[in-house]
Chain A
């Protein structure tokens, strides 16, 4: 195969209010494994979308061989031999492996398809890749690892020259990871350029030739993996310093004599043996990579997901929480991760959103007392300074920050003493973020207890006096006071250990 080069020059991309890629320039050397590393939101996925044609840059150039593009379409990307393996596979579960491989480009024999030829070609292909897959098996009979192999096989059939892999090892077991690495090396030997996204630093060091660190939409540095190490990579990823946006008092430790919520031996399909306590008046951070089980912990406690085992104690009393309703009755509130899908009713009035949880308490003989409802709504619009045209306007008409305030109002109306905030500031502007931090500090000072989850490492460090770090469904350590640093969190989140860190009890 002829050697091909791929580079991007001065790529910029803006989303509403966010500069997602800032002047990104990168060159991928033919036949290399090039890793992209960075926190969530650093811009890796956005960059890959530009390459696969899923999204167009607002300015800048993509150069392939000697051809210049100011943006690719999915078809153009395909024609140039750029393939992408997504985390969710694009396979038809009810069809066989070979049918999936040849979907839309079946080998024909007259009007019929030539099954035998396709099966034979599939076998050849897998032999070339050095893996064993039975082409006549159905996709839904295969494990995740095999589905991934089929996806890679599909790319190979399309004569891919550049293969983008987004966290390919996330769902794999250790053995399967080793097999995948073999395959990646094989592809590399066939001169395929691999663009590899992963959070697992050890993996990158083992597999990649070069690694590019991204942060806040910028390329920070490209290093040869042979000449770097874990510590340096973490330092480069973190980079940013704490600014003044966090209220100083928010990191006041809670009253360690008074646990308000205790969780013991919590197990679910995704979580293993989680035990920890939340103390009165503290802001406790739950950190970890996406998919490590952070959200699952609070969802399981809140009764939103099924628990296999686990005891929950609220204010010293063992409680049974099987539904969100039970949790609300125990004085727990949960501001969910996905504001639009889980938090809000976008097509209902702002007013109805705010009063939703308390609405039955505001009713007599089923009938809602409008004055009481109005008073509740006005109180929160004022307390959280929600900027709106009218409380009767749809929630969808609000900005992200104000939408989040509506969700917060809804939950604060329950007077809950225990609050779970999952990504409370995702996608909202700086001003609203600051207001939410200040609100959290007020709640803490009132003696309420908060668990906060954030993909922004800096936010966790700025808000929390104590942080539990998750890794692959387990608690991998607890950090307190001065130990709460971005470096330490990343170390624990990516599976490392710290000498002086004890597991939360």
Chain B
């Protein structure tokens, strides 16, 4: 009886409690962590994970998963830098072409799944390698420097001198995600397909179309995150993004989205993103090296999935 109560509390306020406890721990451990400046830094750092997480949440709600978004991050940054710097295209044109390419690769993932029944994990694993290869080919493995200030602004700019522009983009992305999932019929279809694909199909829903939308959205949002990341780094870097899918997936699962699809809220994912952001930032502030960070993040992902499975079994 008591256990039931605990799981109910975890389900409702779990992410919030974890975030608060985590913040308190790091505040105790590190003076630098406590500064307002660092809060804004975290805001800037979480933005790319957060934006990609919105699209990836659509996909995970249908029961899919995307591990190609790390390479998508690198690919999009590189392509936009290449188009705007080397080819001299105006920024908006370079961005639109990049996002269309990103979307296109996401739809290829979708076709692999819906038409050829390649599991999402394998399809996007293959795409992860393909995009990494393309990113290196495009740049001959060298970063592309010299991007315009306006490009940099989307990754490192501040509004009114203190509010990070990337954070604003992320808020817009989450608002969009909330609208789609909670207020449109597309959102209903996403939940319906993820919860019970056969019942959805028999109810006249074109399930393949829903999967295509979800794969497309995951890639498109990762592509936007890639533009932002290039802006933040001030260059197109082919080697980035190797830990990215891990961070995104962990944030989503922490946020309460079922890894099997069908349930979870985008608002929870926002908390998940901040938990991961604070964790990354805090671990650096207290002086843990990369290797420790990897170990800890891996443990967090395992624990998050295990917790959500325990909840499911209780029901």
Which residue of chain A is the closest to B179 with respect to CB atoms? A367
Interface residues of B in 30-51 (CB under 8 A from A): none
Q: Which of B180, B189, B196 contacts A341 (CB under 8 A)?
A: B196
CB <8 Å contact, B196 and A360: no
CB <8 Å contact, A348 and B198: no
Q: Which of A324, A352, A362, A368 contacts B202 (CB under 8 A)?
A: A324
Q: Which of B184, B198, B315 contacts A368 (CB under 8 A)?
A: B184
Which residue of chain A is the closest to B201 with respect to CB atoms? A324
Q: Which of A323, A342, A348, A362 contacts B192 (CB under 8 A)?
A: A348
Across the interface, which residues of A come within 8 angstroms of B262, CB to CB? 345, 347-348
Q: Is A328's beta carbon under 8 Å from chain B?
A: yes
CB <8 Å contact, B183 and A367: yes
Separation of A336 and B201 alpha carbons in the complex (Å): 12
Which residue of chain A is the closest to B195 with respect to CB atoms? A345
Across the interface, which residues of A come within 8 angstroms of B184, CB to CB? 363, 366-368
**A456 nearest CB across to chain B (Å):** 23
**A62 nearest CB across to chain B (Å):** 32
8 pairs of A and B residues whose beta carbons are closest in the complex: A366-B184, A325-B204, A359-B185, A328-B204, A345-B195, A360-B185, A363-B185, A324-B204
Q: Is A145's beta carbon under 8 Å from chain B?
A: no
Separation of A362 and B188 alpha carbons in the complex (Å): 12
Which residue of chain B is the closest to A366 with respect to CB atoms? B184
User: What does the 1/0 interface line of B172-206 toward A look like (CB < 8 Å)?
Assistant: 00000001100111101101100110111111111
Q: Which of A328, A334, A342, A396 contacts B198 (CB under 8 A)?
A: A342
> Secondary structure at chain B's binding surface: helix, strand, loop or mixed?
helix
Separation of A396 and B262 alpha carbons in the complex (Å): 14
Separation of A334 and B199 alpha carbons in the complex (Å): 11
CB <8 Å contact, B203 and A348: no
**B137 nearest CB across to chain A (Å):** 38
CB <8 Å contact, B199 and A368: no
**A173 nearest CB across to chain B (Å):** 31
Task: Please give the residue numbers on chain A whose beta carbons come within 8 Å of chain B beta carbons, in ascending order.
Answer: 302, 304, 323-325, 327-328, 334, 336, 341-348, 352, 355-357, 359-360, 362-363, 366-368, 396, 410
Across the interface, which residues of A come within 8 angstroms of B180, CB to CB? 366
Across the interface, which residues of A come within 8 angstroms of B204, CB to CB? 323-325, 327-328, 357
**B294 nearest CB across to chain A (Å):** 34
Which residue of chain B is the closest to A407 with respect to CB atoms? B199
Separation of A359 and B203 alpha carbons in the complex (Å): 11
CB <8 Å contact, B263 and A304: no
CB <8 Å contact, B185 and A345: no
Separation of A324 and B198 alpha carbons in the complex (Å): 11
CB <8 Å contact, B183 and A325: no
Known: A342-B198, A348-B191. A410 touches B185 (CB 8 A): no
CB <8 Å contact, A345 and B186: no
CB <8 Å contact, B202 and A345: no
Separation of A355 and B185 alpha carbons in the complex (Å): 10
**B303 nearest CB across to chain A (Å):** 23
CB <8 Å contact, A366 and B186: yes
Across the interface, which residues of B come within 8 angstroms of A352, CB to CB? 188, 191-192
Across the interface, which residues of B come within 8 angstroms of A357, CB to CB? 203-204
Across the interface, which residues of B come within 8 angstroms of A396, CB to CB? 315
Known: A344-B196, A356-B200, A396-B315. 5 other contacts (CB 8 A): A304-B201, A324-B204, A341-B198, A341-B199, A366-B184
Residue among B184, B199, B201, B203 with max Cβ neighbours from chain A (10 Å): B203
Q: Which of A334, A346, A359, A366 contacts B196 (CB under 8 A)?
A: A346
**B214 nearest CB across to chain A (Å):** 15
Across the interface, which residues of B come within 8 angstroms of A304, CB to CB? 201-202
Across the interface, which residues of A come within 8 angstroms of B189, CB to CB? 359
Separation of A394 and B250 alpha carbons in the complex (Å): 26
Separation of A304 and B202 alpha carbons in the complex (Å): 7
Across the interface, which residues of A come within 8 angstroms of B192, CB to CB? 345, 348, 352, 356
CB <8 Å contact, A342 and B202: yes
CB <8 Å contact, B195 and A348: yes
Which residue of chain B is the closest to A335 with respect to CB atoms? B202
Which residue of chain A is the closest to B198 with respect to CB atoms? A342
CB <8 Å contact, B203 and A356: yes
Known: A345-B196, A347-B263, A367-B183. A324 touches B203 (CB 8 A): yes
Separation of A356 and B206 alpha carbons in the complex (Å): 13
Across the interface, which residues of A come within 8 angstroms of B201, CB to CB? 304, 324
Separation of A366 and B180 alpha carbons in the complex (Å): 8
Q: Can you offer 17 A-B residue contacts whose CB atoms are under 8 A?
A: A302-B202, A304-B201, A323-B204, A324-B204, A325-B204, A328-B204, A334-B202, A341-B196, A342-B202, A345-B195, A346-B195, A347-B262, A348-B262, A356-B203, A368-B183, A368-B185, A368-B188
Across the interface, which residues of A come within 8 angstroms of B195, CB to CB? 345-348
Which residue of chain A is the closest to B188 with respect to CB atoms? A359
Separation of A474 and B262 alpha carbons in the complex (Å): 39
Which residue of chain A is the closest to B263 with respect to CB atoms? A347
Separation of A294 and B87 alpha carbons in the complex (Å): 65
Separation of A435 and B235 alpha carbons in the complex (Å): 69
CB <8 Å contact, A366 and B185: yes
Separation of A304 and B179 alpha carbons in the complex (Å): 31
Across the interface, which residues of B come within 8 angstroms of A336, CB to CB? 199, 202
